[in-house]
Amino acid sequence: MKLLDNLMAVNVDDYPEDKITYDQTPIRMFKSDALEMFTHVTPLAILIIWLPVVAVFLYLGIAAWPLTQSPIWVPLMFILGFMLVWTFSEYVIHRFVFHLEPKTRTAAQIVFLFHHIHHVQPHIKTRLVMPPVVSIPMAAVAFGLFSLLFNNLLGVPHLLMPTLAGFALGYVSYDMVHYATHHSRTKNEIMKFLKRHHMEHHYKTPHARFGVTSNVWDLVFNTEPPVSGPLPADAR
């Protein structure tokens, strides 16, 4: 696709899958300053944009809850959306979309823009959370799929909003945890485990350990190989 060749400032052929650069100057991805601006985002932007979405979904779910249904299903579906639906989606997207094996140059460019740039420069702070220009369209697709599932296929529309609220909070947690795995020096045991798990993904097993907020699905789908040896100093 010549369009991407004309737009992109980086030549993806210069960055094979196993190449990691420690240069703290971000690789420029687009020739246009306007487009390049959209490739950088801070964690605060994620909180500002998406926490109100979580609150709105939860409010709508509670406000429209049928009197004939037990209200206990609201927190249950919220937890389900957060702990099950999101973590599974996170695993699937990371494994099969972000780590898609490209067959063409165009596919390689798209994968590079979405995720491979992060593997080339894993510690660039402004490229550790998903830009809204990507997350908003993906959220729209998820909303459509969940609406189809709950409204049309299952016939339980009242369960949609609490599940989406949990799902959206799961996404926020994913971005915050991902940022922390690269820049946190916490002594919290859970975060230490998640940091080690994600650094193993980056520095040793890029085709395994796809979970970020949890390794449960890696265990389920056998993508959690044994830990082997110390990590590089900059990954600890």
In tens, the pLDDT along 110-141 reads 999 999 999 999 989 999 999 999 999 999 99
pTM of the full predicted structure?
Answer: 0.93
Q: How many domains does the chain have?
A: 1
pLDDT value of position 63: 95
Does 80 score more than 90 pLDDT?
Answer: yes
As a whole number, mean pLDDT of residues 71-86 equals: 97
pLDDT value of position 183: 85
Structural domain range at position 199: 2-235
pLDDT value of position 15: 87
For residues 12 and 9, what is the distance between their CA atoms, to the nearest angstrom?
9
Answer yes or no: are the C-beta atoms of 215 and 181 closer than 8 Å. no
Long-range CB contacts for residues 62-71, cutoff 8 Å, separation at least 24: 62/162, 64/158, 64/161, 65/158, 66/158, 69/158
Condensed to tens digits (0 to 9), the pLDDT of residues 14-53 reads 888 778 888 889 999 999 999 999 999 999 999 999 999 9
Answer yes or no: are the C-beta atoms of 162 and 78 closer than 8 Å. yes
Condensed to tens digits (0 to 9), the pLDDT of residues 209-226 reads 999 999 999 999 999 998
Give every CB contact of residue 161 below 8 A, 6+ residues apart in sequence: 57, 58, 60, 61, 64
Cα angle, residue 170 at apex, residues 228 and 173 outer, rounded to 5°:
65
